[in-house]
Structure formats: C-alpha cells, structure tokens
Amino acid sequence: MKKHIIFALLLGCMAINAHAETPTPLQYHFSNTLIKSIRNCYRYNEEFTKINPDLADVGAMCQRINIRIQGIQADNLCHATIVHKTQNMGKTTYKCKLNRSQRNELYNAIMTRSSEPITSTFTIFEEYEDENGNIYREPTIKTMTDSLINITIEKLKQNACTTEYEEPNEKEQKQFAEYVLTFSEDFQNKLQTCSPAEEYIKTPYLTKPIKIIGKETNTCVIDSSAFIYHIPMSEIYKLTNYDQLSVFATDPQIAKYVPAPDLRYTLFALDACLKEEEYTSPTNTQMINAIQMTKQTISHNQDHNCVLKYREEVSRPDYYEEYETVCIFSDEEIADLISPYQKVLNSSSRLKPSGGAAKAGIDLYKILDKREYCKLNNL
C-alpha cells in the first residue's frame, strides 16, 4: 500500500484539511501545567489528545499526540519533542529548540484563545541540498490566513523544529489495509459481474459509500461520491480495494469528477455579504493518490447583490479541471435567510464551523438553489 493513500485516509479521518493551504483548525485545549511548562520550559510530558476532544475523536483511529518538554539544555534553548503517532500509519516526530522569544510568542498565542482568522506574513527558513550534498537554509516569505495559534505553530515548526517521519512496517500497513481499504468478499463478487451493490470504507470516523450502478457499453459504472467511474469490464478483475479504485481515478477517460460544493461556510459568506464585506473561507484540500481536490467558498457584495461562489479545483496527472458554482441574489433577502441562525452564527468560528453552522450552510444553499439563483460553471 502506498504512503500517499495512507495520508489521503488520514486527511479523510480528520475531515479536512490538513495539508490545506488554509487549514481548518481544531479548537485546541491546553492544560494549565502544559501552559506553565511552555512559558518556563519546565520538564513535562503530556498526551495532548487526552484533553482535546476533537483530536481524541480521531485519535483512536488516526492519531495520538504526545508532547515532551525536556527543559533548558546546554545551548540555552528549550528542547521539546512532539510525536504524532498514527495507528498502523507510521509516526512523525518534531524535535524543537525554542529560544525565549519563541516561547513567549507561543505562550501569548495560547493565552489569546482566539480561533478567528487573521492574515500574517512572516519569514521561514527552508533547507536545501546542493549537488554536493551540502545543506543550507534559505529565507522564504510566507503569507498565511488562519488562527493565531496555528500561524504561530507553523512558524515554529518551520524555524525551530526538525521533522522525522517513520513509515509503518509491512505488518502495520497490511492490518490497516485489511481493516479499511479492502472490499468485502460479497462486494468483490458483485464487481466481477457488475451487479448493483453498495460498500463502505470502514473506519469509525469515515463512511464513504461505493456504489455499483451497473453495466454500460462494456464498462462497469461505479459511483464513489467524488467520481463516477466507467471501468472497462476487461479491467474490473483488478478492483479489490479502495486503493486500486483511486488509481483508476487518475484517468479522466475512466473517472469523471462530480462537482460537490463545500457548503459548510455558506452562513458566514451570507453574513459577510449583508455587512458588505468580502469573505474567503479556509481552503479544503484532499489528496487521493496523484489527484488533488481543492474547495473554497468566497463572497462579496456587488451593487447590492450578493455574489456567492463555491470553487472546486481538481488536478490529475496531465489533466486539470476547475468548477465554480455561482449564486447571485439581492442582498435584501439575506437578513431573512440568516435570521433563524443568529445564535449559531454568533457561537461558531468562521474557521471551523460547528455542526449547526454546517447544517445551516446546507439548508441555506438548498433555498438558494430552489429559487434558481445558483449555476454551475465548468471553467
């Protein structure tokens, strides 16, 4: 099993976007002891996922995060190690050395306790290796829109930490593949004859339907939500698991992308229109093998009309697609549309919509679509 499919499923488990250009952050919780240890560099060890419900929800399947602060060392820097361990999917270790200024910056970001988006431009130092094997660091300017804590963590990760990734061994990969990726025997039998059936990718946190529609012109039509496949019957014997299905998705002649806007941010986009502000949601990026799918919601007020756009980009080897679902309607309608959701609007982060805000987004889009305000464009 390839490492990229491991990462694709990890992204799915986390429901977003790690690796997104503008990640949707979890609402972190820091224990008082950890906060004191960060500020003063006291020796301390904590399993971070135990006190973070959002991380703990995916932790049983996807990750455990352990933070170990080792104290001030001979170089007068605060040494700390953060380990992200994934069940049957390897682990990533960050080894960090923070000076007093960096510790204070992290402490202040924690104490701000804000998940509201800000935009920050800062310098990071990326490592490069020349043709002789010499390693050197080059400054790069980076602009990032996210919560203050995520921006601070990104700066420290780039400038004060080294990263080591340990791949899962063959036994761990096999266990994960058997649990998650492999289709059931009954579904595989239905595939061989292309008989209608339905299967799910089996994880506690990701349920993805795979449906066999039936035969069409010597192909088997399969719906996996993101793509509609027309797999030649002569190739269907190769299909026994999700990894193999995703390989077929790299071929645009076989797999057709099905546009599906990210509706979770609709409520915030409409609220911004009402206030005559521009709105740009976090970018949600998902990788499936060599395919990258990116979604984003934007809005602005133009001549007392709300212009709401749901953007989708799909990049496959040698093939690129871009879609935009555009909804245009009078801003006079917005107040009535969002008035039932004022409590949800006031209590939900624009970076990480609550369940209520996400549901409101879906309901609002249905209303806009029913009124025929929305149109899908293939750009």
Look at residue 274 and give its three-state secondary structure: helix
pLDDT at 145 (0 to 100): 77
pLDDT at 206 (0 to 100): 46
Strands 255-257 and 227-232: antiparallel
Backbone phi, psi, residue 315, to 5°: -115, 115
The DSSP-derived string for 62-87 is: T-EEEEEEEEE-TTSSEEEEEEEEET
pLDDT at 150 (0 to 100): 86
pLDDT at 158 (0 to 100): 86
Which residues are CB-contacts of 21 (< 8 A; sequence separation ≥ 6)? 283, 285, 294
pLDDT at 240 (0 to 100): 83
Q: Which segments of 90-184 does DSSP mark as H helices, in order?
A: 100-112, 148-160, 170-176
The token pair that represents 368 in the structure block: 């806009």
Strands 319-330 and 374-378: antiparallel
pLDDT at 91 (0 to 100): 79
Q: What is the mean pLDDT of each run of 10 residues along the chain (379 residues)?
A: 41 34 56 94 90 55 79 96 75 91 94 82 73 70 82 89 80 63 85 91 58 94 91 91 84 93 94 94 80 92 95 92 96 94 84 84 95 91
Q: Is the pTM of this model over 0.75?
A: no
Under DSSP, the state recorded for 204 is S
Give the whole-angstrom CA distance, residue 106 versus residue 118: 16
Give the whole-angstrom CA distance, residue 192 versus residue 63: 36
Q: Token match 């060392």: residue?
A: 73
pLDDT at 131 (0 to 100): 64
pLDDT at 369 (0 to 100): 96
pLDDT at 165 (0 to 100): 79
Under DSSP, the state recorded for 184 is P
